[in-house]
Each structure stands twice: as structure tokens, then as C-alpha cells.
Chains A and B, each alone.
Chain A
């Protein structure tokens, strides 16, 4: 769906620091739109370690990645930010009036005088197996996600991996595939036990083939896969015919299109000043793990501080003719009204 919106601040990244930026901006009456490639807020906290405890958030002696995200979502609720999830911030242009136009890979456009990049290490993208020439098959016969099950009907499918995605798609695609083969490096799976049981049933019934093996080579022409070379536990190799290959090894973080935004990068990090956390490009700020400055520590708590200062600087860009009134939430009735508690 394509949308075009105008707002005060566009934020790239719905991790803890991007979420807290919404809060700090909200206290200053600045509206925010948040873009994230994942399908839910939380960034690394929810994608990598939702159940792992974090012990160094001030005032929260122990909190999991998911709980921290839930609490931040509750904290920013009064400011009703708009989320653009499952979208990658793909390009940035400067409008004639000096504002920024951020475009996502699904065609959404956000026009705002201020952009805050809170993208952590970049975008979560599927891990690509280190198989020579795999790029040529991607999108044609090698897929890292199933968008339309129908497109796999009557295919000779090969799935690689041992996690939930690998097993879920094995179970779901087996009934419509011409043949479905699952390969994994061991005869054990990290996926949910009921999925493992179901997959083993399908193997016992002859509806799924399973091999302890890994894919070594791809064979085909013009992006259409015809066969792969598999290597078994004993290093014995054999050719396996197939015309669709689905590798499921989870996600990894790549900087992605932000590298093309024309910002001053140092080892894939955005250099900022420590008064405003603004990049060398006026109006573009960077907070959290994606920025660098002398003394930088990649800690969530440091990102919170950075977001607070960036929000103050953003106010002066968004409201050049207004005076910023610095207030405390404990004592200001106008802030309390915004928070819905007064």
C-alpha cells in the first residue's frame, strides 16, 4: 500500500531508542512516523533476545527485551505515533522546501523537516548461505520467504534449516508440492517440538524426504534452479534435483540503503556531534547503536540520552519561530495533560 504523509519527524528504527525518541519528541509536541523492516516494534530486543534479561536499564533491575519493548510502547502510547512496519527505508531525497522525503521499499513516503536514524546495526535481512552464485537465483528459484504459497504448487522444493521457519514451511508446503525435501546439518531441530513431531510424521508417511546434509552447489540456468549438490554427514556428495530452494537460517543485520543516504560514515556508523546528535547533514540525526562519537558506548541507556538531546534540537528545526519551554513531567501540568495523566 502506498501512502504519502507529512509529519514533524521521520524515525528509522523501532528499537528501544527509536521508541524513546517518540516519547521525547512527543513531550515537545512533535509528531513522529516510525519505519522498521521488522513486522513488530522492538528491533534487536525482540528479534534477537525477547526472553533474555537485560540488567542495565536504569530503574529496571531486570527486564527482558520483550518487556522493555512493551513498556516503551505503553510509555509512548499518548503520542500515538504511526508505525510503518515490514518496510525498509530505501531512499532519501531533499525536497525543494528543505524537508526530507523518506521513501520505503513498499512505496510509503514520509516528508518531514527532521529525520532521526535509530537503525541500530541496520536492517534485519535473511541470512544468505555462502553458496557460490546464489545471487543469480534469488527471487526466481531461491527464496528467503514464502509470500504466496500458490507459487510453490507442484514444485520440487528443497528447504534448508532447522528452525521454526524451516519446519513450518516444510509442513505447510508439503501438501501442495510435487516433492518436498528438507536438509539440515544434524538430525535435531531447534524448532518447536510439535513442529518437529509433525515433520517426523510426514517423513514416516513418505510425504517429506529428510537428509542430514548441506547444500554445496547450485545448478541451473538463467536463475532457474535444476539441481543442487548435497553433502552428507560423511562428506559424501550427491546431486539432488529440485526447482525451488528455500534456505531458512534466520536474520542478520546489514547496514542496507542507509549507506546510500549520502551521510558521513565511519566504519558503517554515522558520525554525530554530542550536543545535538546530528550528523554532518543538517536535519538528519542519528541515535543509538548506529552513531559514533568520541567515547561512544553501545548501550540502550546511552541511546535514551541521545534521543532526548536530539529531540530538543529537532524542535528548533520543526518550530523555528517558537521558544522551547523546558519542563519536567513531575511538575508540568501541560506535559501531564499530553501524557493523559492530568
Chain B
């Protein structure tokens, strides 16, 4: 599966997603500037991304923990998600996200 990701400088990247990996891991390993301070524990909100509107509704809805943690994210928008809580699956081939500012 492919992930289309725009970094904080507006540059577009096409990344190879891996089944079962989190989107945060794919972004981080792809060299995008996602600090993911807590390492994927849904405890820091530093892997915040904006999901393209057409993809947002196809995702598993955020857990209570993620909704709470988004309160600590900056510049939250209606399609904000924490990328450590998004798991790559074949159905998400083409997932399009933008790394949120920090």
C-alpha cells in the first residue's frame, strides 16, 4: 500500500506502507519530521497529522484516549488524527495525510 504524505515544508512524499505498521512508523522511517516523542503510546500528540477528507471516514474512528490526547495537539482540525493510532491495511492504499505544524 502507498501513503501520500506532505511534510511541514509542503513537500509531497510517496511512502510504502507496511501491513500492520502504524502510519507514524512509516512517516518516521520515511524521514519525515515526526518526533513521536512517546514512541507510539498515544501519550504526547507529537505525531499529529491531518487526514485528507476523503480518507478520514474510511479510518477506524479515534478511541477515547486518542480524542483526549488530541487536546494536547496544536492547531487541531476536523480531520486531525494521531498517526501512531492509524494502522496500515490494504484498504488504506492511497491514504493521504499532511504532517501538522508544531
Measured CB to CB, the residues of A under 8 A from B are: 44, 48-49, 52, 121, 127-130, 161-163, 184-186, 188-190, 214, 249-250, 252-253
Complex contacts, A127 vs chain B, CB 8 Å: 72, 74, 102
Question: Is B46 interfacial (CB 8 A cutoff)?
Answer: yes
Give CA–CA (A117, B67) in the complex, Å: 35
B101 touches A249 (CB 8 A): no
Of B15-23, B35-43, B53-61, B83-91, which binds chain A? B35-43
B37: contacting residue among A121, A162, A186, CB under 8 A: A121
B76 touches A190 (CB 8 A): no
Give CA–CA (A214, B76) in the complex, Å: 8
Of all chain B residues, the one with the shortest Cβ separation from A252 is B46
- 11 A-B pairs with CB atoms under 8 Å apart are A49-B38, A121-B35, A129-B75, A130-B74, A130-B101, A190-B68, A249-B73, A252-B35, A252-B46, A252-B102, A253-B35
Question: Is B44 interfacial (CB 8 A cutoff)?
Answer: yes
B67 touches A48 (CB 8 A): no
Measured CB to CB, the residues of B under 8 A from A are: 35, 37-38, 41, 43-46, 67-76, 101-102
B43 touches A190 (CB 8 A): no
Decide: A214 near B38, CB < 8 A? Known: A49-B43, A130-B102. no
Complex contacts, A189 vs chain B, CB 8 Å: 71
Shortest C-beta distance, A64 to chain B (Å), equals 11
Q: What 9 additional pairs, Cβ within 8 angstroms, besides A130-B101, A130-B102?
A: A48-B37, A52-B41, A121-B35, A121-B37, A162-B71, A185-B76, A189-B71, A190-B72, A252-B35
Complex contacts, B76 vs chain A, CB 8 Å: 185-186, 214
Complex contacts, B46 vs chain A, CB 8 Å: 252
B72 touches A48 (CB 8 A): no
B35 touches A188 (CB 8 A): no
Give CA–CA (A179, B102) in the complex, Å: 29
Tell me which of B38, B67, B101 has the highest count of chain A C-beta atoms within 10 A of its own C-beta.
Answer: B38
Give CA–CA (A249, B80) in the complex, Å: 15
Shortest C-beta distance, A292 to chain B (Å), equals 16
Give CA–CA (A317, B33) in the complex, Å: 39
Shortest C-beta distance, B64 to chain A (Å), equals 9
Give CA–CA (A48, B42) in the complex, Å: 9
B71: contacting residue among A44, A129, A163, A252, CB under 8 A: A163
Complex contacts, B44 vs chain A, CB 8 Å: 48, 250, 252
A184 touches B35 (CB 8 A): no
Give CA–CA (A185, B80) in the complex, Å: 11
A49 touches B41 (CB 8 A): yes
A250 touches B68 (CB 8 A): no
Shortest C-beta distance, A46 to chain B (Å), equals 11
Give CA–CA (A111, B68) in the complex, Å: 43
B41 touches A163 (CB 8 A): no
